[in-house]
Amino acid sequence: MQSRHEPSSPPFLPSSTPRAEFPPGVRPAIRRMAGYVPGEQPQDKRYIKLNSNENPYPPSPHVIASLHEAITDGLQLYPDPLANRLRDTAARVYGFPRENIIVGNGSDDLLTMLMRTFVDPGDRVAFPTPTYSLYDILVAMQEGQVVTVPYPPDFSLPPALAEVGAKLTFLCHPNAPSGILHPLAEVEALARTIQGMLVIDEAYADFANEQALALVHRYPQVVVLRTFSKSFSLAGMRVGLAFAHPDVIAELMKVKDSYNVDRLSIVAATAALEDYAWMRQNVAKIRATRTRLKAALRGFGYLVYESQTNFVLAREPGVRQEGLYDGLKAHGFLVRYFSAPDLADCLRITVGTDEQIDQLLAALHELRRSA
């Protein structure tokens, strides 16, 4: 309990100091920003977590064994700043020379590097919306100018995106939060016609029927991002890869934090690639559960988009889903609700195990019946 003598605000901040001026010297762009709000990450096991598109299955036993070995081997030493062991393994698995690959502390880190490299104050950065909301925030940090091109109601690729003439264009492929995959031919047409750099964020590509990674071989202005957080079950380790022309990678190398990926993360991601079959097996299970989840949600009357990811966006046109989100939380399920007007009638649900999804559907059924 607070004692009577404790100041109500920290002693170093006189209560008369206007908040807007403290701390002094903050860049106006940062002062204006609200900052990214990640999904809820409760650190206990109270909830069945279907809100951040994590994998419900654990990483490969080979990853666990490799981590056990690595934990007694040199944690007192800095990691390889270039993560070359991981780059070489990725080079083998994905069919690129090492020089085409850079490793990030999650793909979020790679997004930051791209912004630092390409975006000066006032530069235009384009993306279709709604999409991954971090893009917006990172552009604001660089004082770039966001140009959004709204998706049409069916979430198909808006042709106007190619006409913006932005320095940097982001395409989340398949998109979040819709889950929709644009046909590869359309993405390639965009790569062919775009003026600046095209960053294709393939965080969910392993769950999709088509991938755009091969475009990096043909279009020097294309960057493809991958993450170990979703299909490889390593959200807790924070590793991502960017694939691009060696000259692009060389520029990104200049702006990355020196030791941006730690020793254990390098070991875990390398081992995950060495057991690629484990990832494919989990992806197959998630795709099967996704089909069941979509059918069940449609049975409840939801409009469910054709997800090619490990989550599903369900819309009840014109009906706010906040109450259902709260109800599910009270039943022990965390899903994602977005208050933005164009998404307030939607719930985004990560595809969990069959058992988790059965339990979720039972709770949703009960909540909808009693609503």
Ligand X SMILES: Cc1ncc(COP(=O)(O)O)c(C=O)c1O
| Residues within the interface to ligand X (CB under 6 A) | 53, 106-108, 132, 172, 176, 201, 203, 227, 229, 235, 240
Residue closer to ligand X (CB basis): 132 or 243: 132
Residue closer to ligand X (CB basis): 86 or 296: 86
Instruction: For residue 106, give the DSSP letter.
Output: S
Smallest gap from Cβ 201 to ligand X, in A, equals 5
- Rounded Cα distance between 134 and 145, Å, is 14
* Cβ burial, residue 214 (10 Å; 0-12/13-18/19+): middle
Residue closer to ligand X (CB basis): 227 or 282: 227
Residue closer to ligand X (CB basis): 107 or 169: 107
Smallest gap from Cβ 297 to ligand X, in A, equals 20
Smallest gap from Cβ 273 to ligand X, in A, equals 15
Phi and psi (nearest 5°) for 122?
90, -15
Q: Using CB atoms, what's the residue nearest to ligand X?
A: 106
Smallest gap from Cβ 255 to ligand X, in A, equals 17
Contact predicate 25/133, CB 8 Å? no
Edge-to-edge strands, sheet with 168-172: 101-104, 240-243, 222-227, 197-201, 168-172, 124-129, 145-150
- Rounded Cα distance between 50 and 56, Å, is 9
Smallest gap from Cβ 174 to ligand X, in A, equals 9
| Number of C-beta neighbours around residue 19 at 10 A | 6
Residue closer to ligand X (CB basis): 260 or 289: 260
- Rounded Cα distance between 22 and 27, Å, is 11
